[in-house]
Each structure stands twice: as structure tokens, then as C-alpha cells.
Structure 1
């Protein structure tokens, strides 16, 4: 009888242990599934700033401001402010919503403060771009930061106070105590853009005043320490609307080819790498040069020699009033490809990407290039949205590299 009791007790222990093992397996499976979840946010395209300014008769003011900027700054960029791809974020408790420029060439998050001091800082009524502002008195999670900040918006200063807040991306990625700036003075150029601030997804070397960058706080929350950017096309390009996706912690296997070519970063502080060469038509340039990937630059920045070669290959004419190179819009799909050679691989960009319809007179379209400084300081090229629309970018923070994959257009 005692033997039967011992056997029964052993069976009960085995069943209990089996149940515990199954519960453990279930929990481990749940953890694995949870850790593998990725987060995605739609990207909105604002359309062309130049097209808006031309339509509203404000383009001469814009050109005057750009000339003043070029004369006053030592930065090597002439202009890269024509287009913006935007994402939605939230700050505070309860959440305050903002639409911000996605910028891989800066490493700071800032939004407009409710008490901004610049003239018409809450938007230009004639451009129908009223802006959302941050009010710290409406948030229970606001914390004062370490004083004030000075950041840059297209080479011009943005100033305000530093703070910490609850920060939400993709409606579900919640980050506590995120450093950010609440901007109280902003340049006129910012007022013309339909954005409430900037989300800097650059590297820590470019942090402002020792703050923790958005990527510093975001990456530890993700299964894979990377984010993927797919920028979709909109036809005509001067229009605005949803135009792409940013995927946090995963590769975008729907909108991007599965074949990804990686190139190591080699520019301190930037998502920068080496360009082996460039070609268009009969022109070739075989020279290792530094480039940066910049989601906030609508156009491609190139050395003056390359700009001249592109003009020659396309037969473009310079419009002295608009300060743009133009070609007939009828040639939008027939001009030669741009060929970028990166890490030994050729990446062609079709003319439909680098020729932009701004609604100019005489059915003329603009070439989406700007000239870079010929000095030895800084990168020689900026690969903006004109390039990124053709190739998804995997910003691999964990391995300090960028992956390039052919983008799938919905148009």
C-alpha cells in the first residue's frame, strides 16, 4: 500500500514539473515573440518648398535669405531645404502631438515652444502651416533640463531651453526622460516649412550640450539596433501626403528588396561613408570621396565639377531669376541615369527622381542638385531624398554601417 502511495506521489510530482516546464516554455515563447515585434511610423512628404513659395509670391524673399545665409556661415552647404519627410511624435503627459522633420544629419530633438518669441513663429497664415507648440505647464512629466541650447536649422540658429519629457514614437514606443529642446526663437526659413520641429536621428558625436540623443534612448528598446527608411514617391512631386515608412528595430521586407548591401561608416559623427565614383552620360569621376546620408535634405549636394558635368549631360539651362538649373518637363523620364558607385556596387538613379516639377513657366522642371563647398572641410557629397527614394536605407546603429536595398515604389 505504501508503495502505491509513493508511486502516486511521484506521478503527481512529474505532472506538476511537466506543467511548470510547459508554463516556462510558454513564457519564453511569449518573451521571444514580444522582443521580435518591430514598430513602424508612416512618413509624410511635405512637397516642394520652392513650389509653395513660387505659388505664394514669396520666392524672392527666400532667395534673399539664402544669399544672406551663404555670406554669413562657414558651413559647406548652399541649400538643402527644399523638401521634408515628416513623422508624428508625442511629448508629455497627457501627450502633445507634433509633426517633425526626420533628420539623420542632426542628433537633437526639438519642438516649438508655446511662448516662442520669433515673429509669426506659430506659422505663416498665407502658407496655411499653423504649428503645434509644446506647453510644459500642461504636462505632468515635464522636467527642467540643464539650461539653454543653440541648435541649427538649415545652418541658422534655433534657441530655447533644455528639458526632459516622456517621448512616444509609432504610438507605442514610449521613452521616459528624453532630452529635448523647447525652441523659443527660430529662423524665418523654419516658419515657411510645415513642421513643428526636428527629430534628429544622427549619431552621439553630434549631441547638443551633452544631451542623450533620441537614438541613445531608442536603440536599447529594440530587438535589432537599427531603423529602416523607405521613402515613397508622390506624383507630382510638389504634392504632400503619406509617402513612406520608418521601421524601428527591423528590416522593411515589404517595401525594400531582401538583398541589402552594407557599407561601413567612416565619417565621424555622421551617417557617412565613402563614394568610389560617379557617372552620368560620358562623364565619369573615379575618386574616393566622403558622403553623408541626410533624410532632411530633399536634394543631392555635389562638388562644383560634378554639377557642371550634370548640366552638360542634361543640356540644362540656368534660370537667373529662380537661381535653378532647368530642363523641359517632357524630358523628365528620358535624361541619363546618375550612377553612384558605393563599396564597389553601382547604384543608378533615374531622371524621374532628379528632375522636379515645381510648376514653373514654359513647362520647365528643375534639377534637384545643389553645389557643395570646394574646401577640404566636411563631406564632398550629401545624398538626400533624391537618392534615398531609389534605395531604402538601413541605418544600422549596432554595427555602425548603412545598408542599401532597392526601394519598391507604390507609384
Structure 2
């Protein structure tokens, strides 16, 4: 039986763990090339994930949609999609199998397996008895180009009774500071970086602006206003925003996203929204006001051109399904523009323009 371990591989620099991230072809692009995208989207929707959220034994991440994940840490496999490097627990003398079943549900699929524990090495840092999920079967993620998922949210998001790897590193004093940071390069291939235990200031311009975490679950903060072309787009009395490298797009309430699509003249084509490429530079900038500072996202950032030369919108709806209050997700479209720091010691997020 093959097992797929949810782990990440990293490299160590002195006093600071820095992991190069490599840009890859996304699962969406792979499915589109094989003419499988429409069928996949019809079978794997956010609504399907919502319908099974009642069982307390399930770990539900309905907005964790890995269709558009385009960076990997450490290394990535050049094997065809659907084949993965696997972890064989029988070859490890330190592996332990608690046997707790694991059922993880994402917006783009679902995985089943069991909980295991083993020694995890990050460079020359050693984290012993680290829990992780061993995946025996999966649905909807067979075309994923990555071998596993490394979660960096708060412990309340972890599988019940387990401690996430970042918390173990912090608790055991293996990192100098309880922070991690992301730099997502706008270059086509290499250049992106994730940092553990500190940050490298050469990756951002100006001073970091710190924002308190409003709810320690996701990396969730309070946002005061969203505007485009001078028009207020929701968030009239303040709203919540989740800063999330695991989400590719800018995600908000469906009603607000519909208004944005009208403002940028995006038209539906299948399950995606298309704009005319030659008009991209004329489209309005969207501005997120957070803790008194404006964070602009120009059209060149929120419109992406696929391999076929079609210009697609990077706005998605659906957050009304995850919270009663107005909630937005600032994904990689936003984070390619702004270097981000996640400070667990002070429960805050730092943002500064990326270099």
C-alpha cells in the first residue's frame, strides 16, 4: 500500500530557516490542457464540501482550493501529475502509528488516511514525535503537482489532539523567534521564499506595518474599507480578512465579487471569467484599507494570462458560506505585492511592499 505524507522539505541557513519556493504549472492548467477542467469543476465544488461539515470528526477546509497553487518548497517532482513521492513508514525505526483516522475536506477535493508520528528534520533542526497525516486515498487531488501540504495556521485548525510543526519548533526552542514570513516573487520561475524563525528585510521596501490578529484561527485581521474606482465595495462597517498563502485568488462574498466582475467587464466562459487582454491596463485598481493603510492591487496583478493567452480574472466568491460576517481572503494575488510576516509571539501580521 502506498502512503502519501503531508510534509514539507526545507533548507537551513544560519539562525534563519529559508526555503526557496519554485513556481510550477498549476493543477488547473494541467486539467485544462487535458480537457478535464470542466468535468472536474462540476464534480468538485465548494457546495459539496459544505454539505459534509456536520461531522465533528471531519477537518473541513472548504476554501482551501489547491487548483491554482503554483509554488512549491524545497524541491518538486518532475513526474507526471498523479504520481507522487511517497513515505513508507515500514522503513522508519522512529515511526509511530497512533491509528487515529484522518478525513480532510478541501474546496478542491478530499483525502482519507491515518495519523502518524515521526522525526522531522528541517536542515539540522530535529523535531521528534511530530504528528502528520498519512494519506491512503484521495478524491479530486490526483492531478496535484505537489506531494503534501504543510499547514501554518493556528493550532485550532490542526487535527484534534495534535500539535502543528511550527508550534513544536517554537515550544522546543528550535527557532530563534516565533515568526515566519513569505516573499512571493512576481518572476515567472524562481525567487520566492518562506522563512522560519525570523525574516530577511532585503525582501521588502519600507517599514513593516503591523496588524493585530482579530481571531487566532486563521491569520485573520480586521479590514475597514474596499474601493475600486472610488466606489465602496462592501466592508462599509468594517469586515474580516484572512491573509492566506494557501488561497491563490482574492476571495469575497459572491454578491460583491459579481459587482467587481461587472466593473472590470469580465464575462463568464465556462467556469472562469475572461477579460479582453488589450484593455487590462485600463482596468481600475482595487484598494484594501487595513489598519489605516491602503494596499493597492492593480489590474496587472489581479488579471492573469493562461498558457493559451487568455486573460482571466483572479476574483472568486463564496466566503458567505464560511462566516455570518463579511469576510474576504487575501491570497497570493495580494501576497505577491506585499511581503508578509506572521508573528505568533504577538498575534499580529506584518505587511510591507515586496521588492
TM-score by length of 2: 0.85
Over residues 92-135 of structure 1, what are the superposed CA-to-partner deviations in whole Å (9 max), with x where a residue is unaligned? xxxxxx859xxxxxxxxxxxxxxxxxxxxxx9x8x545211110
Within a 5 Å distance, the mapping from 1:62-77 to structure 2 comes to 62-67=40-45, 69-71=46-48, 73-74=50-51
Contact 1:166 1:174 in 2 (8 A): yes
Q: Are 1:181 and 2:133 matched, yes or no?
A: yes
Q: Structure 1 residues 263 and 177, CA, compared in 2 at 3 Å: closer, same or farther? A: same
* Residue 106 of structure 2: aligned partner: 153
* Residue 5 of structure 2: aligned partner: none
* Residue 15 of structure 1: aligned partner: none
Distance 1:373 1:346 in 2: 22
Which shifted more, 133-142 or 279-288?
279-288
Distance 2:82 2:109 in 1: 20
Distance 2:244 2:38 in 1: 26
Q: 2:260 aligns with which of 310, 318, 322?
A: 310
Distance 2:342 2:260 in 1: 29
* Residue 169 of structure 2: aligned partner: 218
The CA deviation at 1:305 is 3.1
The CA deviation at 1:222 is 1.3
Contact 2:38 2:271 in 1 (8 A): no
* Residue 369 of structure 1: aligned partner: 315
**Structure 2: 5+ residue stretches without partners:** 1-12, 54-60
Over residues 15-63 of structure 1, what are the superposed CA-to-partner deviations in whole Å (9 max), with x where a residue is unaligned? xxxxxxxxxxxxxxxxxxxx98111011122333322221111112212
* Residue 80 of structure 1: aligned partner: 65
* Residue 57 of structure 1: aligned partner: 35
* Residue 4 of structure 2: aligned partner: none
Q: 1:399 aligns with which of 339, 346, 351?
A: 346
Q: Structure 1 residues 47 and 298, CA, compared in 2 at 3 Å: closer, same or farther? A: farther
Q: Structure 1 residues 147 and 378, CA, compared in 2 at 3 Å: closer, same or farther? A: farther
Contact 2:268 2:274 in 1 (8 A): yes
Q: 2:95 aligns with which of 126, 130, 142?
A: 142
Contact 1:77 1:371 in 2 (8 A): no
* Residue 350 of structure 1: aligned partner: 298
Q: Are 1:382 and 2:333 matched, yes or no?
A: no
Which shifted more, 284-293 or 204-213?
284-293
Within a 5 Å distance, the mapping from 1:92-241 to structure 2 comes to 127-154=80-107, 156-169=109-122, 171-188=123-140, 190-219=141-170, 220-235=173-188, 241=189
Count of residues in correspondence between the two structures: 329
Within a 5 Å distance, the mapping from 1:263-342 to structure 2 comes to 263-285=211-233, 286-319=236-269, 322-342=270-290
Distance 1:213 1:79 in 2: 17
Contact 1:145 1:179 in 2 (8 A): no
Distance 2:62 2:241 in 1: 13
Which shifted more, 294-303 or 375-384?
375-384
Q: Structure 1 residues 208 and 273, CA, compared in 2 at 3 Å: closer, same or farther? A: same
Distance 1:256 1:357 in 2: 26
Q: Structure 1 residues 199 and 283, CA, compared in 2 at 3 Å: closer, same or farther? A: same
Q: Structure 1 residues 182 and 99, CA, compared in 2 at 3 Å: closer, same or farther? A: farther
Over residues 120-177 of structure 1, what are the superposed CA-to-partner deviations in whole Å (9 max), with x where a residue is unaligned? xxx9x8x5452111101111221222522222333643221211111123x3332111
In terms of Rg, which structure is larger?
1
Distance 2:281 2:36 in 1: 30
* Superposition RMSD in Å: 2.5
Task: Look up the SS of the partner of 2:320 in the other structure.
Answer: coil
Distance 2:159 2:62 in 1: 20
Q: Structure 1 residues 146 and 310, CA, compared in 2 at 3 Å: closer, same or farther? A: same
Contact 2:287 2:296 in 1 (8 A): yes
Distance 2:302 2:38 in 1: 23
The CA deviation at 1:263 is 0.5
TM-score by length of 1: 0.74
Task: Look up the SS of the partner of 1:70 in the other structure.
Answer: helix
Q: 2:23 aligns with which of 34, 37, 45?
A: 45
**Structure 1: 5+ residue stretches without partners:** 1-34, 89-97, 101-122, 236-240
* Residue 359 of structure 1: aligned partner: 307
